[in-house]
A and B are shown apart, each in its own frame.
Chain A
Amino acid sequence: MGQITLNQITKSFGEVQVIPPLDLQIEDGEFVVFVGPSGCGKSTLLRLIAGLEDVTTGEILIDGNEATRVPPAKRGLAMVFQSYALYPHMSVRKNIAFPLRMAGIDKETQKAKVEAAAKVLNLTDYLERKPGQLSGGQRQRVAIGRAIVREPAAFLFDEPLSNLDAALRVNMRLEISELHNSLETTMIYVTHDQVEAMTMADKIVVLRAGVIEQVGTPLELYHTPRNTFVAGFIGSPKMNFLTGAFAEEYGTDTIGIRPEHLDVSQSEGKWSGVVSVSEHLGSDTFLHVDVNGLPDPVTVRATGEFGVRHGDTVHLTPDTSKIHRFDKQGLRIA
């Protein structure tokens, strides 16, 4: 079981309140991702759940039990750190066995569990090595192994993939998702990478300055972002925001349109502009178009190859049904 409830929790460091009163409900078995720009308090929130930081006020319930003042060792949660945080003086075997040793589990069971975990994580050949002799991806697996052997109520991941190179990151992302599917244990995952959030999460929590901006499934956030912050943060390339006359036409102050919801043509369209940069990825072409009357270039995503260069004139037409409207405060207008 791994149901976690945060009731009106706050966190202050000295005079600075980094988390204003916050409520959040995490259901058993859910994969929840905390996402937001750096300094938004997502890691702090995770550390509060872990017990590595004390909440200033409010309460934390784990499976309905008061856990606010319970030390981290007793919360039954496992954590995977960004730096892996392996014990450098212990072999991989001892690293993975450490939580079992702390729990006072007998040697035979320890051995069996460590070997089972090593097998799942492809670490069997490395059990006698020290962490220093492993690659980044292998270290990350050891850290995950150390977390899974103790069968925690929930896994906490603190930006676990940010030290890996791009290819490995995609692999590990899949592995963690598979792990979640097979274990069906609650996972809370912190990242600043919205792609990780979109691909892995059952539920995304978007944070800004310690405040939850929106909670929802990846597609809810994509289709109906609550405000301009969420709209700009979720989706890649990010949403274009148009103001002034462009927005007035739709009866509001700001409109948002995603790059993939703009039709681009070399002959005709609603708005015309000049290509400043074109990025050809093969599968897609990203165009950055300077449109007359707009301070920032508009990003457009064209499927496949689209043969334009810097300086060419293109015409853009938005898909009207996909336009997001926002009011003066940046809140979504239904």
Chain B
Amino acid sequence: MARKITTRRKTLNTLFAWGIGLLIFFPILWTILTSFKTEAQAIADPPVFLFFDWTLENYAIVQERSDYMRFLWNSVILAGGSTVIGIAIGVPAAWSMAFVPSKRTKDILMWMLSTKMLPAVGVLYPIYLLFIKLGLLDTRLGLTIVLMLINLPIIIWMLYTYFKEIPGEILEAARMDGAGLKEEILYILTPMAIPGIASTLLLNIILAWNEAFWTLNLTAAKAAPLTAFIASYSSPEGLFYAKLSAASTMAIAPILILGWFSQKQLVRGLTFGAVK
């Protein structure tokens, strides 16, 4: 029997949920609003909410002063590249762990997860030195590799979880039906794992896009992505809130839009297996 919920209670719950949602979203909304204000309005006391002279001048200035497209392009390459390479390594790794597990599979998974518990700053110095020695500092290649490596444990974990949900008997049935390894992967495994692979892909693009620690520390100008673009507006020229907001909005817009359009896929992928 379905649980009875009174209309009043339902309304209260809905209001409460909306309240929490707005509270979380408010800083982003405020940033977007501020980006359309003049610098004076941005620091006005009491703050103005919606009724101010909407202007695009901050965007114009930001675009003029720094090459947004270059940062954007770097972000796309770093996020996309690290994710694609990560998936290419993660799929076979997760496959073997899910379908041909050995005695140590669990240990390897835990060990990979444990690397995520290590504070990144702990390995900054050795990695920085390695980058200098290898000439990778401020290169897209170097950053792509680092971003791929830091997200690889998550990629493998997620894929492993999805693959675990695929019953081994279905793969065996394919083998009995005359499918070789190639056909088994192409016609059975991949189509069944696509929701999982897709949501892993999306989540990792978002994680890589938002990654700031390594991108700030290992880049200067050439390979700097949008995180560095925002950071460059934070202090050196005094606090220009409106311009900083405009830069931030431009930096988060692409990933926000991607996230919005793929939310169904993301939620489905992340809850895949939780409810069969």
Contacts from A to B (Cβ < 8 Å): 50-52, 71-74, 77-79, 81-83, 85-89, 98-99, 102-103, 146, 150, 156
Query: Which 6 residue pairs across A and B have the least CB separation, nearest first?
Result: A102-B178, A85-B173, A99-B177, A85-B169, A79-B176, A72-B175
A156 to B177, CA, bound (A): 12
B178→A150 contact, CB < 8 A: yes
Residues of B within 8 A of A72 (CB): 172, 175-176
Residue of B169, B178, B179, B180 with highest tally of chain A CB at under 10 A = B178
Q: Is the Cβ of A73 less than 8 Å from the Cβ of B192?
A: no
CA distance A74 to B178 in the complex (A): 7
Is the Cβ of A87 less than 8 Å from the Cβ of B175?
Answer: no
B169 touches A83 (CB 8 A): yes
Q: Which residues of B contact A74 (CB under 8 A)?
A: 178
Write out the residue numbers on chain B whose beta carbons fall within 8 Å of the beta carbon of A89.
Answer: 191-192
A304 smallest CB distance to B (angstroms) = 44
- Give A86 to B170 CA distance when docked, in angstroms: 6
- Assess whether B256 is interfacial by the CB under 8 Å rule: no
Instruction: Tell me if B167 is interfacial: C-beta within 8 Å of chain A.
Output: yes
B195 CB to closest chain A CB (Å) equals 10
Question: How many angstroms from the CA of A98 to the CA of B192 in the assembled complex?
Answer: 15
The answer on a CB contact under 8 Å between B177 and A98 is yes
CB-based contact A77/B177 at 8 Å: no
User: Which residue of chain B has the shortest Cβ distance to A73 in the bound complex?
Assistant: B178
Task: Check if B183 sits within 8 Å of A85, measured CB to CB.
Answer: no
Given contacts A87-B188, A88-B192, A89-B192, contact A81 B173 (CB under 8 A): yes
Q: How many A-B residue pairs have CB under 8 A?
A: 61
Complex: chain B residue closest to A14, CB-CB: B103
Within 8 A of A (CB), among B158-181: 167, 169-170, 172-180
Q: Which residues of B contact A99 (CB under 8 A)?
A: 177-178
Assuming the contacts A52-B172, A79-B173, A81-B172, asked whether A102 and B179 have C-beta atoms less than 8 A apart, the reply is yes
- The residue in A51, A52, A86 that gathers the most chain B C-beta atoms within 10 A of its C-beta is A52
Name the A residues within 8 Å of B192 (CB-CB). 87-89
Number of B residues, CB within 8 Å of A: 17
User: In the assembled complex, which residues on chain B have CB atoms less than 8 Å from the CB atom of A52?
Assistant: 172, 175-176
A73 and B172 in contact (CB under 8 A), knowing A83-B167, A85-B167, A87-B188?
A: no
Residues of the A chain whose Cβ atoms lie less than 8 Å from the Cβ of B167: 83, 85
Name which residue of chain B comes closest to A78, CB basis. B176
Residue in B172, B174, B188 whose Cβ sees the most chain A Cβ within 10 Å: B172
- Cross-chain contact A73 with B173 (CB below 8 angstroms): no
Known: A87-B188, A146-B177. 9 other contacts (CB 8 A): A72-B176, A73-B177, A81-B172, A81-B173, A83-B167, A89-B191, A89-B192, A98-B174, A98-B179
Residues from chain B with Cβ under 8 Å of A79 in the complex: 172-173, 176
Asked if A73 and B170 make an inter-chain contact with CB atoms under 8 angstroms apart, the answer reads no
Residues of B with C-beta under 8 A to A51: 175
Chain A residues positioned under 8 Å from B180 (CB to CB): 71, 73
CA distance A272 to B112 in the complex (A): 70
Given the interface pairs A81-B169, A85-B167, A102-B183, the reply to whether A73 lies near B188 with Cβ below 8 Å is no
- Chain B nearest CB from A229 CB (Å) reads 30
Question: CB-defined interface of B129-170 with A at 8 Å, one 1/0 digit per residue?
Answer: 000000000000000000000000000000000000001011
How far, in Å, is B101 (CB) from chain A's closest CB? 13
Chain A residues with Cβ under 8 A from B175's Cβ?
Answer: 51-52, 71-73
Residues of chain A with a CB closer than 8 A to B172's CB: 52, 72, 79, 81, 85
Q: What CA separation (Å) do A143 and B204 show in the bound complex? A: 38
The answer for the CA separation of A208 and B67 in the assembled complex, in Å, is 76
Contact indicator per residue, chain B 181-197, by CB within 8 Å of chain A (1) or not (0): 00100011001100000
In the complex the two chains form, what is the Cα distance from A103 to B179 in whole Å?
9
Complex CA gap A150/B179 in Å reads 13
Is A102 in contact with B191, judged by CB distance below 8 angstroms? no
Q: Within the complex, what minimum Cβ distance (angstroms) separates B112 from chain A? A: 25
Nearest chain A CB to B209 CB, angstrom units: 30
A73 touches B169 (CB 8 A): no
The contact sample of 14 A-B pairs, CB cut-off 8 A, is A51-B175, A52-B175, A72-B175, A73-B179, A73-B180, A77-B176, A78-B176, A79-B173, A83-B167, A87-B188, A88-B192, A99-B178, A102-B177, A150-B178
